[in-house]
A and B are shown apart, each in its own frame.
Chain A
Amino acid sequence: MSIRVDGIRKTFGGFAALDDISLNMPQGELVGLLGPSGSGKTTLLRIIAGLEKPDQGRVLFNERDVTTLDVRHRKVGFVFQQYALFRHLTVADNVAFGLRMLPRGQRPGRDAVRARVRELLELVQMDTMAGRYPAQLSGGQKQRVALARALALEPEVLLLDEPFGALDAKVRKELRRWLRHLHEQISVTSVFVTHDQEEAMEVSDQVVVMSQGHIEQIGSPLTVYEQPASRFVFDFLGHINALEGLYDGAVWQSGEARLRLDTHGACPDGALTLYLRPHEATLAKAPAEHAHLPVKLAARSVFGGTVTLELEPRGWGSGVLEVELDRDTWAALAPGRDETLYLLPRSLQTVTCDGDLGPRVAPA
Chain B
Amino acid sequence: MSSANRPHKWHQWTLVAAAFAAVVVLLVLPLVVIFAEAFAQGAGMVASNLTSGDMIGAIQLTVIVALITVPVNLVFGVLLAWCVTRYEFRGRKLLSTLIDIPFAMSPVVAGLCYLVVYGGQGLVGQWLDDQFDVQLMFALPGMVMVTVFVTCPYVARVLIPLMQSQGTEEEEAAILLGASGWQAFWYVTLPRIRWALLYGVVLTNARAVGEFGAVSVVSGLIRGETLTLPLLIQMLNEDYNTVGAFTAAGLLAAMALVTLLLKTVLEWRQSSKLNAAEETLT
A84 to B167, CA, bound (A): 10
A85 to B176, CA, bound (A): 13
Whether A101 lies near B183 (C-beta < 8 A) is yes
The answer to whether B175 has its CB under 8 Å from any CB of chain A is yes
Whether A101 lies near B191 (C-beta < 8 A) is no
Q: Which residues of A contact B277 (CB under 8 A)?
A: 133, 135-136
If the complex has contacts A84-B169, A133-B277, are A97 and B192 also in contact, measured as CB distance less than 8 A? no
Residues 259 to 282 of chain B near chain A (Cβ within 8 Å): 277-278, 280-281
The answer to whether B83 has its CB under 8 Å from any CB of chain A is no
The answer to whether B117 has its CB under 8 Å from any CB of chain A is no
Q: Which residues of B contact A51 (CB under 8 A)?
A: 172, 176
Q: Which residues of A contact B174 (CB under 8 A)?
A: 86, 97, 101
The answer to whether A263 has its CB under 8 Å from any CB of chain B is no
Whether B170 lies near A102 (C-beta < 8 A) is no
CB nearest to A89 among chain B residues: B191
Whether A72 lies near B281 (C-beta < 8 A) is no
Q: Which residues of B contact A49 (CB under 8 A)?
A: 176
Q: Which of B169, B178, B183, B280 contacts A153 (CB 8 A)?
A: B178
Whether B178 lies near A88 (C-beta < 8 A) is no
If the complex has contacts A71-B175, A86-B188, A102-B178, are A136 and B169 also in contact, measured as CB distance less than 8 A? no
Contact with A along B154-196 (1 / 0, CB 8 A): 0000000000000001101111111110010001100110000
CB nearest to A88 among chain B residues: B191
Whether A72 lies near B179 (C-beta < 8 A) is yes
Contact with B along A31-53 (1 / 0, CB 8 A): 00000000000000000010100
A241 to B280, CA, bound (A): 49
- Report A130 CB to chain B, min CB distance, Å: 15
- Report A191 CB to chain B, min CB distance, Å: 14
- Interface range, B side: 20 to 34
Q: Which residues of A contact B281 (CB under 8 A)?
A: 135-136
Q: Which residues of A contact B280 (CB under 8 A)?
A: 135-136
The answer to whether A149 has its CB under 8 Å from any CB of chain B is yes
Q: Which of A72, A80, A88, A149 contacts B192 (CB 8 A)?
A: A88
Residues 63 to 84 of chain B near chain A (Cβ within 8 Å): none
If the complex has contacts A135-B278, A135-B281, are A153 and B192 also in contact, measured as CB distance less than 8 A? no
Whether B170 lies near A72 (C-beta < 8 A) is no
Q: Which residues of A contact B177 (CB under 8 A)?
A: 72, 97-98, 101, 149, 152-153
CB nearest to B181 among chain A residues: A72
A89 to B192, CA, bound (A): 10
Report which residue of B173, B180, B188, B278 has the largest number of chain A beta carbons within 10 angstroms of its beta carbon.
Answer: B173
CB nearest to B179 among chain A residues: A101
- Report A11 CB to chain B, min CB distance, Å: 14
If the complex has contacts A80-B169, A82-B169, A84-B170, are A72 and B278 also in contact, measured as CB distance less than 8 A? no
Whether B173 lies near A86 (C-beta < 8 A) is yes
Contact with B along A54-71 (1 / 0, CB 8 A): 000000000000000001
The answer to whether A343 has its CB under 8 Å from any CB of chain B is no
Report which residue of B169, B173, B176, B188 has the largest number of chain A beta carbons within 10 angstroms of its beta carbon.
Answer: B176
- Report B189 CB to chain A, min CB distance, Å: 10
A75 to B183, CA, bound (A): 17
CB nearest to A135 among chain B residues: B277
Report which residue of B170, B177, B280 has the largest number of chain A beta carbons within 10 angstroms of its beta carbon.
Answer: B177
Residues 212 to 269 of chain A near chain B (Cβ within 8 Å): none
- Report A133 CB to chain B, min CB distance, Å: 7
Q: Which residues of B contact A78 (CB under 8 A)?
A: 172-173, 176
Whether A98 lies near B178 (C-beta < 8 A) is yes
Q: Which residues of B contact A87 (CB under 8 A)?
A: 170, 192
Q: Which residues of B contact A133 (CB under 8 A)?
A: 277
- Report A222 CB to chain B, min CB distance, Å: 33
Report which residue of B178, B180, B280 has the largest number of chain A beta carbons within 10 angstroms of its beta carbon.
Answer: B178
The answer to whether A30 has its CB under 8 Å from any CB of chain B is no
A101 to B178, CA, bound (A): 6
Q: Which of B169, B178, B187 contacts A72 (CB 8 A)?
A: B178
A122 to B64, CA, bound (A): 55
Residues 185 to 237 of chain B near chain A (Cβ within 8 Å): 187-188, 191-192
A49 to B172, CA, bound (A): 11
A150 to B179, CA, bound (A): 13
CB nearest to B170 among chain A residues: A84
CB nearest to A76 among chain B residues: B176
Q: Which residues of A contact B178 (CB under 8 A)?
A: 72-73, 75, 98, 101-102, 153
A82 to B177, CA, bound (A): 17
Q: Which of B170, B176, B180, B278 contacts A86 (CB 8 A)?
A: B170
CB nearest to B280 among chain A residues: A136
A135 to B280, CA, bound (A): 8
Q: Which residues of B contact A152 (CB under 8 A)?
A: 177
Q: Which residues of B contact A73 (CB under 8 A)?
A: 178
A136 to B273, CA, bound (A): 13
Q: Which residues of A contact B192 (CB under 8 A)?
A: 87-88
Going nearest first, the 8 A-B pairs with the smallest beta carbon separation are A98-B177, A84-B169, A135-B277, A84-B173, A88-B191, A101-B179, A101-B178, A78-B176
Given contacts A49-B176, A136-B277, A136-B280, 14 further A-B contacts (CB under 8 A): A51-B172, A72-B178, A77-B176, A78-B173, A84-B170, A86-B170, A87-B170, A88-B192, A98-B177, A101-B180, A102-B178, A135-B278, A135-B280, A149-B177
**A–B complex contacts, Cβ < 8 Å, 24 sampled:** A71-B172, A72-B176, A72-B180, A77-B176, A78-B173, A78-B176, A80-B169, A84-B169, A84-B172, A84-B173, A85-B170, A86-B173, A87-B170, A87-B192, A97-B174, A97-B187, A98-B177, A98-B178, A101-B177, A101-B180, A101-B183, A101-B187, A136-B277, A153-B177
Interface residues of A (CB under 8 A from B): 49, 51, 71-73, 75-78, 80, 82, 84-88, 97-98, 101-102, 133, 135-136, 149-150, 152-153
